[in-house]
Structure 1
Amino acid sequence: MTKGQVNRKTDSTESILDKHNKLNLFILCIAVFMASLDVFIVNVALNKIGDSFGQSSLSNLSWILNGYAILYAALLVPAGKWADRFGQKNGFVWGISLFTLSSLGAALSGGLWVLILFRCLQAIGAALLTPSSLGLVLTIMPEKQKKRAVRIWTSSGSLAAAAGPVVGGVLLEISWQWLFIINVPIGIFAVLTAIQYIPDQRSKTISGMPDLWGGLLLIVSIGALALGLGKATDWGWEHPIIWGSFILFVIALIGFITQSRKHPYPIVELSLFRSRVFTWSNITITLVNIAFAMELLSIIMYIQNIWGWSSLATGLAISAGPCMVWPSAIVGQRFSKRITFNVVAAIGMVLIGAGSLLFALSVQGSPNYWTQVLPGWLIIGIGYGMTLPIIISSATKELASDQTATGSAIVNMFRQLGSVLGTTILVVVLGSSVRDLRAFENSWWIAVALSLLGAFTALGLLPKNNRVRQQ
């Protein structure tokens, strides 16, 4: 065989491998895109789902969002450790399979609480596929392509945020069931191609079983808090079940902390919070997502209930904000080369609050999207894009290299818990007054206060001994 033939054979082999890598990355990204998309399209659909089931209670409908977010948050860390132990490919295939089957179940649901049950099963699948897919990206992609692949994987979630409201609005023109039916063919494609093409990857250092009991305690704790706050306006703050929910929240939370201290593989490694940056990152990302969840759902409910806009029009109206997240993230990274990244994150938080302030000062009963909603929503999107990537990337700066994966998962867990709290607080503020302008204004003022508090906590993202201005 001549040298030229050898070179051509080598080039041909590398070309085939490169095609396989691209296909694998596409499979991993489309699964994460689908899981993220499902969150944003459901926000737009609450009213139609409620009408379909004869449900008008926002506190009940909010569990379509909260049930998903609570389970996803609580299981994200143990699911990642489970995948490390039993294989990342297994975790991904089982996760996407469960997500797909539960999407079909959600579409066929005949009642609200059956739908919420399948949403919880979706969350379990999403919790499995998310860390598994990122782990596969990090292990199967060639070293020279790894950074670019991670950026593409990360941007899949941002793209889902931008596309979700519009896709949801279009599908709702058919029926709300199509929000979940669309996942089925995509999920089947992802499962079949993953089984055939993605190599199996297992951690070289096999850890013990993750703390599933701690995960259950966390689910009970956050669920009890959300139930107590969400139903207090319906049942009254003095109702025994409301008080029982708050007591259960405290007991389960104490149990979770105790379990985390003694379990060898806890969901939350409490020792990580010795890092000042890690602690402030989790506090800030919680505040960011409380404010953002309130702003997102409130502006959707406002446009649909006060202005009477259709789901499609609402989806198009709110898509502009998420579209600003990706470009503003790039701008934020550039700013961090001139001023410290904690200041950039604080500026982003101020912008998130400024968007809510514009809502509170300008929104009226008579619709004028271009002056009352769009400016504030664009500013919120810019602020979110500047803040979120910095928090996620800076959270693990003080952690050891073998702690970064767990640290990142914990940050994302607090991000989801922030969304639960934001949705729940909005339910408390609005109560049954989803057509009361004053109630919406109150929610936006609360979002302003939370954002300003987040701007203060964001300043703690810079380590005390770090005076480097570039991130």
Structure 2
Amino acid sequence: MVATTSPHPRRWWALGALVASMLVLGFDTTILNVALPTMAEQLGATTGQQQWMADAYVVVFAALMLPAGLLGDRFGRRRMLVAGLGVFLAGSLLGSLAGDVNAVIAARAVMGVGAALIMPLALSVLPSLFGPDERTKAVGLISAASALGMPLGPIIGGWLLNHFWWGSVFLINLPMAAIGIAACVFLLPETRDPASPKVDVLSTALSATGLGALIYAIIEAPERGWGDPLVLGTAAASVVLLAGLVLRERRAVRPMLDLTLLGRRGFLLNTLAATLVMFVLSGLMFVLPPYLQAVLGHDAFGTGLRLLPMMGGLLVAARGAQPVVARFGARAVVSAGLVVLAFAALLGSRTTVDSGYGFTALWLSITGLGFGFSVVPAMDGALGALPADRAGSGSGLLMTLRQVGGAIGIALLGSLLAGAFRDRLDVTGLPAGAAHTAGESVVAAHLVAARTGSAHLAASADASYVHGMTLVLLVCAVASLVAALLAALLLPNAPTARRTEREETRPVAPTTADAGQ
């Protein structure tokens, strides 16, 4: 069957199905973040356990994304996308029925399996549906869909938490996933590439255990200490496992993890920029809700509303990225977006206990603009730097690295916050048990303060948390500045143009032919 270069007639309807799928993921991410302080109080979860509730999803997500993308290539991307939404729905149902922290972590891991099928397949069909002239707009719409789910999540999730039990934040995903399934079945054409590499079970196991060991070491270090034998052993094991993964994939004739793509400068640097942005975003979304709830005293619904400035800035930037890139070039826009992000983090690091929400809303708005103007052109530039016949494996690698950045962001920045909070908290005069409990999280400290009637402990908890958040924001600022410098010096400025030239002289990938079936 001869491939054609004509645009797919249902491509915008198909994009609607992908948007519905991405809404589910964005919706769930922020619902959990705003629910964590409430769950910490009702389930007695420590900061480390809260990190695991967030990271169990992200680690499984990152570890399984590449094999999930290959399953879509071989057996049909629409079929696997529907399966992913079904697994995500099942995990959400398990989460709503969970009775303790461990059950919640297990449910989040199941949801990660579903998300691993949804994310790369939603992106990998874009090059077969849209040409280079329309792809930037399509990427922007998918990014906007993810972003739109983010402000809806805290608002609806906060309302649910104020009126129902914490499990309702999982239950609300069921109709969202069902709508996504229906949209994919009726609107999305089937695409596949039967010639893609087979799923390598050993490589999948190496990536999952290696990432899990790395995240475990980072999360447990503040509690146990970096010199603890278990932490050191787990960190060493992660290095060995991940090194084994790289060696195995480099020797494979048809690798699942196509590391040769990182030799393409446009793909490598755009992927690095998108990964660092995900690192900052995930860390910020983990540390902000406890500040808004425990320190400023807002309820869950109020916390969701107060995250809107960042989401608003992100939506504006995602919508406006395409014309700005067309005028100034991707390199300038990505670099400027990262500089804006660094400035917002630096401004946020000036937050004090007495700053109030107005100052927070200001730097959150600037943060959203920086996110959007850096991540949308970076992701489009990474996809545009890929050969058409490697769009599936390349988009899988891009999203895998982004999710790894998110997992490390939650683990590293959350651990930095936990260590700083515990070291600064004044527990003088408290019994040993109460002192240990207070040091587990700012929510726990406020519960102990209320039980003991200690206004001093509550004030110390607020000051200690803001101190930890300041350190997190300073790290975010430095990471963003380094990424901006690398982008300004090394990033190619016109990956889309180069891709267009290649596509004029080479047949379109087999997936395009399949798209018309």
CA distance in 1, matches of 2:374, 2:336: 8
Question: For residue 445 of structure 2, what is the aligned residue in structure 1?
Answer: none
Question: For residue 12 of structure 1, what is the aligned residue in structure 2?
Answer: none
CA distance in 1, matches of 2:228, 2:240: 19
Q: Measured at CA, do residues 152 and 266 of structure 1 come closer, stay the same or move farther in structure 2, by a change above 3 Å? A: same
Paired amino acid for 1:162? P
Aligned residues: 449
Q: Say if 2:375 is the partner of 1:388.
A: yes
Paired amino acid for 1:185? P
Q: Say if 2:276 is the partner of 1:260.
A: no
Among residues 40, 44, 47, which one is paired with 2:37 in the alignment? 47
Which shows bigger deviation, 42-51 or 135-144?
Answer: 135-144
Report the Cα offset of residue 257 of structure 1: 0.3
Mapping 1:152-191, distance limit 5 Å = 152-173=141-162, 174-191=164-181
Paired amino acid for 2:27? L
Paired amino acid for 1:455? A
Report the Cα offset of residue 187 of structure 1: 2.8
Report the Cα offset of residue 324 of structure 1: 1.3
- The answer to whether the Cα contact below 8 Å between 1:172 and 1:179 also exists between their aligned partners in 2 is yes
CA distance in 2, matches of 1:36, 1:114: 22
- The answer to whether the Cα contact below 8 Å between 1:281 and 1:394 also exists between their aligned partners in 2 is yes
Q: Where does the alignment leave 5 or more consecutive residues of structure 1 unmatched?
A: 1-16
TM-score using structure 1 length: 0.86
CA distance in 1, matches of 2:88, 2:121: 14
CA distance in 2, matches of 1:445, 1:194: 42
Paired amino acid for 1:385? G
Q: Measured at CA, do residues 25 and 462 of structure 1 come closer, stay the same or move farther in structure 2, by a change above 3 Å? A: closer
TM-score using structure 2 length: 0.79
Q: Measured at CA, do residues 364 and 451 of structure 1 come closer, stay the same or move farther in structure 2, by a change above 3 Å? A: same
Among residues 380, 392, 400, which one is paired with 1:405 in the alignment? 392
Report the Cα offset of residue 251 of structure 1: 0.6
Paired amino acid for 1:364? T
Paired amino acid for 1:262? R
Q: Measured at CA, do residues 309 and 130 of structure 1 come closer, stay the same or move farther in structure 2, by a change above 3 Å? A: same
Deviations 1:282-333 (A, max 9, x none): 2222222222222222222222222222111111111111111122234443
Paired amino acid for 1:104? L
Among residues 451, 458, 464, which one is paired with 2:487 in the alignment? 458
CA distance in 1, matches of 2:11, 2:322: 28
- The answer to whether the Cα contact below 8 Å between 1:295 and 1:356 also exists between their aligned partners in 2 is no
- The answer to whether the Cα contact below 8 Å between 2:74 and 2:193 also exists between their aligned partners in 1 is no
Among residues 51, 57, 76, which one is paired with 1:68 in the alignment? 57
CA distance in 2, matches of 1:140, 1:280: 25
- The answer to whether the Cα contact below 8 Å between 1:280 and 1:460 also exists between their aligned partners in 2 is no
Report the Cα offset of residue 203 of structure 1: 2.1
Among residues 250, 254, 257, which one is paired with 2:239 in the alignment? 250
Question: For residue 339 of structure 2, what is the aligned residue in structure 1?
Answer: 350
- The answer to whether the Cα contact below 8 Å between 2:27 and 2:152 also exists between their aligned partners in 1 is yes
CA distance in 2, matches of 1:298, 1:186: 26
CA distance in 2, matches of 1:467, 1:60: 43
CA distance in 2, matches of 1:82, 1:90: 10
Q: CA RMSD in A?
A: 3.0
Q: Say if 2:99 is the partner of 1:124.
A: no
Question: For residue 329 of structure 2, what is the aligned residue in structure 1?
Answer: 340
Question: For residue 5 of structure 1, what is the aligned residue in structure 2?
Answer: none
Report the Cα offset of residue 191 of structure 1: 3.8
Q: Measured at CA, do residues 329 and 133 of structure 1 come closer, stay the same or move farther in structure 2, by a change above 3 Å? A: closer
Which shows bigger deviation, 413-422 or 182-191?
Answer: 182-191
- The answer to whether the Cα contact below 8 Å between 2:384 and 2:496 also exists between their aligned partners in 1 is no
Question: For residue 261 of structure 2, what is the aligned residue in structure 1?
Answer: 272
Deviations 1:183-240 (A, max 9, x none): 2233345446655x35772425433422232222122222211111111111122221
SS in 2 for 1:364: coil
Among residues 17, 25, 30, which one is paired with 1:35 in the alignment? 25
Q: Say if 2:356 is the partner of 1:368.
A: yes
Identity fraction in percent = 25
Report the Cα offset of residue 465 of structure 1: 9.4
Task: Answer 1 or 2: higher relative contact order, Cα 8 Å, separation at least 6.
Answer: 2
CA distance in 2, matches of 1:333, 1:105: 40
Q: Measured at CA, do residues 194 and 383 of structure 1 come closer, stay the same or move farther in structure 2, by a change above 3 Å? A: closer
Report the Cα offset of residue 154 of structure 1: 4.1
- The answer to whether the Cα contact below 8 Å between 2:119 and 2:399 also exists between their aligned partners in 1 is no
CA distance in 2, matches of 1:150, 1:228: 35
SS in 1 for 2:94: helix
Question: For residue 8 of structure 1, what is the aligned residue in structure 2?
Answer: none
